[in-house]
């Protein structure tokens, strides 16, 4: 186990380095620059800004500077939010997005797993069909539509829920719902198909032949084997959501990292792009390690090497 | 007369699939006394497992009993509710499956899986169940039972796992143990060990056994009675001696010819039975074996053979027993 963790950390660092390098060169290849869009400033002023942030230097030199600074823990200043460092921005926005994502994923699991089980248990019957239709809608409806519908009904028409920010418990309801619909629907379908697959296994027949009741067969013998695909899906999905959902944050006016990420790209805020990308990569790698460890806990056959 | 432990009468069972009705059992009847060991032989797909599962009320979807009755240990199985069936399964009747590699749940320990069935059907406490599980492992010849209880199935060999399956089946001292091809998935040497164990248990414990196999050699050594199945029919039934020395059905004769004789001095000549198994979606009108039978007559294609009692314990369904009559009566051939 210890050896495994050391190995995974090494691999993770290497992956992050590769991601950082690729992002750095790709983003510099894209036309435009952080100050190009600002028509109000003169050519001379633009050049002055570029030289202030070192953008006039050759790309290889900038790359090595960035990497050495990064290793020292310095992600630089944002090019567009003058005077704020990238770390500042990330550390103030990340907890907002991560909290929202955590709640949304918890909700998705609490809804998706039981619905998937129920659906598999009543396979082919009305309940199953109903849940499948529901899940298919959940997967098909994009979050901007569900967000707008929620906002319109519960926010403006019924005036039940706050439409802006994340200040009270109530204000979490709509953004969490909007974020959780897709993963909940996906988990429902994943859980259902995985359970049905497991229910056809020989050891399930053994469990039935012992005289166990249907729910015991399902919840003791099938569920633990069937949950592995859900675990695999949830890890990276959580990591993705934690770096923020641009659409939901925009619609509900939530000061999260998702909006920063997108606007940093449109603004060519190079240092912010690097910062957020590296955070996302790190989270995905960490999530995968956690998934592996969970796998080991759930299924004793798995050997972590 | 003493009541039979198991009495199946005229069982018809079909799987209602989108492709049509698969007629898996077509009028199966047999009975067993307490303590008796019955072998069911027949090639793959002949309905052996389906018969066995139906005794436990475990017929898989989309299968359904169409008609007939199953009496077991005083129960009318076909009329029992799911709840009543659950009380019976693993308790009064239990089963050992073919493939020990996949029949145990990979995520629970051996101990957990044995104790589970004990806790379910008895009033024993966890401690007592654990003690019983240990005894059971000793009974089926597993060394270091204490350690094994804590192991997971993947840490055990195939033979070991089948022993564990047997211990689970025996946990509640069932009246009837069904062994559905318990050795088919194992290596030859392990097969012999498991068969040896079954014989030993048979003499130690007072229970009836149904031994399902497609290998006559396996039943020869341990069964008193043998039922030969073909296409969802029991085509012949008799004592082991009757089946081996006076087979009364062409299919049985074919099976006997296809057993390798270990002690034979002549070079071995195995005669496999030619031809394809019956299509159960569209079974033939007459004798199901007719398309593959070397002695097939006209009447065989036309009509299902009648039951011929060859002795008090021996019967078969084959027109050959009536051949003499036909010839006298104007040649059915
Ligand atoms: N779940 C099922 N669905 C459809 N048909 C089945 C099912 N289980 C068994 N059958 C049919 O029943 C017949 C008998 O099967 P089985 O009893 O398993 O044969 P065997 O003698 O090899 O144990 C097979 O030919 C198969 O077509
Ligand atoms: S009834 Fe006819 S076809 Fe069937 S086994 Fe006997 S002889 Fe062969
Ligand atoms: Mg079978």
Q: Of B47, B43, B170, B166, nearest to B100 (Cα)?
A: B166
Q: Is B231 a pocket residue for ligand 2 (Cβ < 6 Å)?
A: no
- Indicate which ligand has the atom closest to the C-alpha of B230: 1
pLDDT of the residue at B333? 46
Distance from CA of B93 to the nearest CA of A (A): 9
Cβ of B58 within 8 Å of Cβ of A221? The answer is no
Report how far apart, in Å, the C-alpha atoms of B91 and of each of A207, A216, B159, B177, B329 are.
13, 17, 24, 10, 55
Residues in chain A: 305
End-to-end CA distance of chain B: 43
Q: Of A240, A129, A221, nearest to A182 (Cα)?
A: A240
- Indicate which ligand has the atom closest to the C-alpha of B308: 2
Residue A160 and residue A140: Cα distance in Å, rounded?
Answer: 27
Residue B1 and residue B9: Cα distance in Å, rounded?
Answer: 18
pLDDT of the residue at B262? 58
Residue A98 and residue A180: Cα distance in Å, rounded?
Answer: 13
pLDDT of the residue at B332? 46
Quick check: helix, strand or coil at residue B234?
A: strand
Q: How far, in Å, from the CA of B140 to the mean position of ligand 3? A: 23
Cβ of A210 within 8 Å of Cβ of B90? The answer is yes
pLDDT of the residue at B5? 95
Q: Of B249, B123, B111, nearest to B167 (Cα)?
A: B111
Distance from CA of B42 to the nearest CA of A (A): 22
Cβ of A206 within 8 Å of Cβ of B91? The answer is no
Out of A207, A214, A301, name the one closest to residue B106 (CB): A301
For residue B301, which atom of ligand 2 is closest to its CA? 3
Per-residue pLDDT tens listing for chain B (333 residues): 567 999 999 999 999 999 999 999 999 999 999 999 999 999 999 999 999 999 999 999 899 999 999 999 999 999 999 999 999 999 999 999 999 999 999 999 999 999 999 999 999 999 999 999 999 999 999 999 999 999 999 999 999 999 999 999 999 999 999 999 998 888 888 988 999 999 899 888 889 999 999 888 888 888 999 999 999 999 999 999 999 999 999 999 999 888 766 555 555 556 777 788 888 998 888 999 999 999 999 999 999 999 999 999 999 999 999 887 877 765 444
Quick check: helix, strand or coil at residue B99?
A: coil
Q: How far, in Å, from the CA of B288 to the mean position of ligand 2? A: 8
Q: How far, in Å, from the CA of B248 to the mean position of ligand 2? A: 10
Residue B292 and residue B251: Cα distance in Å, rounded?
Answer: 9
Instruction: Pick the residue whose CA is nearest to atom 1 on ligand 2.
Output: B318
- Chain A's closest residue to B105, CA to CA, is A203
- Do residues B248 and B308 touch, judged by C-beta distance below 8 A? yes
Task: Characterize A255-293 residue by residue with b for buried, 16 or more Cβ atoms within 10 angstroms of its Cβ, and e for exposed.
Answer: ebbbbbbbebbebbbbbbbbbbbbbbbbbbbebbbebbb
Q: Of B90, B327, B63, B163, nearest to A207 (Cα)?
A: B90
As to burial, measured by CB atoms within 10 angstroms (0-12 exposed, 13-18 middle, 19+ buried), residue B239 is: middle
pLDDT of the residue at B215? 81
- Chain A's closest residue to B84, CA to CA, is A211
Quick check: helix, strand or coil at residue A85?
A: strand
pLDDT of the residue at A46? 76
Contacts of A209 in chain B (CB under 8 A): 56, 58, 89-90, 94-95, 97
Out of A209, A211, A298, name the one closest to residue B121 (CB): A211
Out of B102, B152, B165, name the one closest to residue A201 (CB): B102
pLDDT of the residue at A224? 94
Q: Residue B93: phi, psi to the nearest 5? A: -135, 135
Residue B179 and residue A49: Cα distance in Å, rounded?
Answer: 83
- Spell out, as residue ranges, where chain A has pLDDT lower than 70: 36-40
For residue B277, which atom of ligand 1 is closest to its CA? 25
Q: Of B27, B10, B30, B71, nearest to B313 (Cα)?
A: B30
Out of A208, A214, A299, name the one closest to residue B106 (CB): A299
Contacts of A212 in chain B (CB under 8 A): 86, 90, 116, 120
* B165 in reach of chain A (CB within 8 A): yes
Cβ of B87 within 8 Å of Cβ of A212? The answer is no
Q: How far, in Å, from the CA of B137 to the mean position of ligand 3? A: 26
* Alpha-helical regions (H) of chain A: 2-29, 43-52, 59-71, 86-121, 126-140, 143-150, 169-199, 202-209, 214-216, 223-226, 228-242, 246-251, 257-266, 270-298
Cβ of B154 within 8 Å of Cβ of A300? The answer is yes
- Do residues B209 and B37 touch, judged by C-beta distance below 8 A? yes
Q: Of B228, B204, B206, B196, nearest to B215 (Cα)?
A: B228
Instruction: Map tokens 């032949």 to a residue.
Output: A209
Residue B300 and residue A113: Cα distance in Å, rounded?
Answer: 57
Cβ of A225 within 8 Å of Cβ of B154? The answer is no
- The β-bridge partners of B46 are none
Residue A183 and residue A195: Cα distance in Å, rounded?
Answer: 18
Q: Could you tell me how far CA A28 lies from the centroid of its own chain?
A: 25
Angle at B198 between CA B5 and CA B214, to 5 degrees: 80
Instruction: Pick the residue whose CA is nearest to atom 6 on ligand 2.
Output: B318
ipTM entry: 0.90
pLDDT of the residue at B224? 92
* B91 in reach of chain A (CB within 8 A): yes
């Amino acid at each position: 186990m210890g050896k495994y963790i050391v190995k995974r950390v090494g691999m993770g660092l290497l992956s992050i380095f590769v991601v950082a390098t690729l992002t750095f060169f790709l983003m510099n290849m894209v036309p435009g620059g952080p100050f190009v869009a600002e028509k109000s400033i003169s050519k001379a002023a633009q050049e002055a800004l570029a030289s202030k942030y070192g953008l006039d230097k050759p790309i290889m030199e900038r790359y090595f500077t960035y990497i050495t600074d990064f290793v020292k823990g310095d992600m630089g200043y944002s090019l567009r939010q003058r005077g704020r460092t990238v770390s500042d921005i990330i550390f103030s926005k990340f907890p907002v997005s991560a909290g929202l994502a955590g709640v949304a994923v918890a909700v998705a699991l609490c809804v998706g797993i039981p619905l998937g089980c129920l659906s598999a248990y009543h396979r082919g019957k009305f309940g199953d069909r109903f849940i499948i239709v529901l899940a298919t809608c959940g997967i098909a409806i994009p979050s901007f539509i569900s967000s707008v519908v929620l906002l319109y009904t519960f926010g403006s028409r019924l005036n039940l829920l706050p439409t802006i920010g994340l200040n009270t418990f109530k204000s979490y309801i709509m953004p969490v719902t909007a974020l959780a619909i897709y993963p909940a629907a996906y988990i429902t379908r994943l859980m259902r198909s995985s359970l049905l697959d497991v229910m056809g296994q020989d050891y399930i027949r053994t469990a039935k032949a012992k005289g166990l009741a249907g729910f015991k067969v399902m919840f003791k013998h099938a569920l633990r084997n069937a949950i592995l695909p859900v675990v695999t899906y949830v890890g990276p999905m959580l990591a993705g959501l934690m770096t923020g959902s641009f659409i939901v944050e925009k619609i509900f006016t939530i000061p999260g990292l998702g909006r920063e990420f997108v606007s940093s790209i449109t603004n060519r805020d190079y240092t912010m792009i690097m910062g957020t990308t590296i955070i996302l990569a790190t989270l995905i790698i960490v999530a995968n390690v956690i998934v592996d460890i969970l796998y080991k806990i759930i299924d004793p056959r798995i050997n972590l090497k | 007369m003493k009541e039979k432990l198991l009495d199946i009468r005229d069982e018809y069972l079909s799987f209602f699939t989108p492709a049509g009705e698969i007629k898996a059992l077509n009028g199966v009847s047999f009975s067993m006394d307490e303590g008796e060991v019955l072998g069911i032989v027949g090639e793959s797909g002949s309905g052996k497992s389906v018969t066995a599962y139906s005794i436990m009320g475990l017929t898989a979807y989309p299968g359904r009993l169409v008609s007939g009755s199953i009496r077991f240990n005083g129960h009318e199985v076909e009329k029992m509710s799911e709840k009543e069936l659950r009380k019976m399964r693993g308790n009064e009747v239990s089963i050992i499956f073919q493939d020990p590699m996949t029949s145990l749940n990979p995520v629970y320990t051996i101990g957990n899986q044995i104790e589970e069935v004990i806790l379910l059907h008895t009033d024993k406490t966890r401690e007592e169940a654990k003690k019983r599980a240990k005894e059971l492992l000793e009974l089926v010849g597993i060394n270091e039972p204490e350690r094994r209880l804590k192991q997971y199935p993947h840490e055990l060999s195939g033979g070991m796992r089948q022993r564990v399956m047997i211990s689970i089946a025996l946990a509640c001292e069932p009246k009837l143990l069904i062994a559905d091809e318990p050795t088919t998935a194992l290596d030859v040497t392990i097969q012999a060990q498991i068969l040896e164990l079954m014989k030993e248990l048979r003499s130690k414990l007072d229970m009836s056994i149904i031994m399902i196999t497609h290998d006559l050699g396996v039943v020869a050594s341990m069964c008193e009675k043998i039922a030969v199945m073909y296409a969802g029919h029991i085509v012949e039934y008799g004592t082991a001696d009757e089946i081996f020395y006076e087979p009364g059905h062409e299919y049985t004769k074919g099976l006997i010819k296809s057993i390798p004789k270990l002690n034979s001095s002549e070079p071995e000549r195995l005669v496999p039975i030619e031809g394809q198994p019956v299509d159960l979606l569209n079974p033939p009108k007459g004798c199901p074996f007719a398309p593959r039978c070397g002695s097939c007559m006209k009447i065989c294609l036309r009509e299902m053979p009648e039951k011929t009692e060859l002795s008090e314990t021996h019967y078969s369904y084959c027109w050959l027993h009536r051949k003499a009559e036909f010839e006298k009566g104007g040649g059915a051939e």
